[in-house]
Amino acid sequence: MPTIFDHEKLNVYQRSLDFVEFVETLLSDLPKGLAAHDQIDRASTSIPLNLAEGNGKFTAKDRCRFFDIARGSALECAAALDVLTRRNKIGVTTAEEGKIILKEVVSMMVGLIRSQEGGRVYEDPAAYNEGD
């Protein structure tokens, strides 16, 4: 499919769609009445939607707000995979497969958020290791 909008050019957006596809396959094997079914469906959908909306904002603060929401949804998906594993609804291997995608998505989103630096404060984690 050709890219028409700017958000479609983002690697993190494309990778988040890979996770949506992963979840679609996962959901086909889960009972619809399961609370985690609905939760991971909504949270996984929230990732690319918030990335797209945030990318369309004009100020760094507005972009980061949506990117933060997308990152939170990705972390929520990781927790949902843990819940599904603990409830014996999915296997550990399946959860790990999803988490590998999510790890990439979260890492790319952190980079995207940090690239917007305007008004955001970050500490260098290395500063805590200087006395070692």
Average pLDDT over every residue of 106-126: 75
Is pLDDT of 119 > 60?
no
Average pLDDT over every residue of 48-74: 95
124 pLDDT band (50/70/90 cuts)?
low
- Encoded tokens for 35: 């609370």
Is pLDDT of 123 > 90?
no
CATH fold, domain 7-117, is: de novo design (two linked rop proteins) (1.20.1440)
Q: What is the mean pLDDT of the chain?
A: 90
Instruction: Give yes or no for a contact between 95 and 65, defined as CB atoms under 8 angstroms apart.
Output: no
CB-based contacts of 81-84 (< 8 A; 24+ apart in sequence): 81/40, 83/36, 84/30, 84/36, 84/40
- Residue 54 CA, chain-centre distance (Å), reads 13
Give the DSSP H or E segment for 71: helix 60-86
Is pLDDT of 50 > 70?
yes
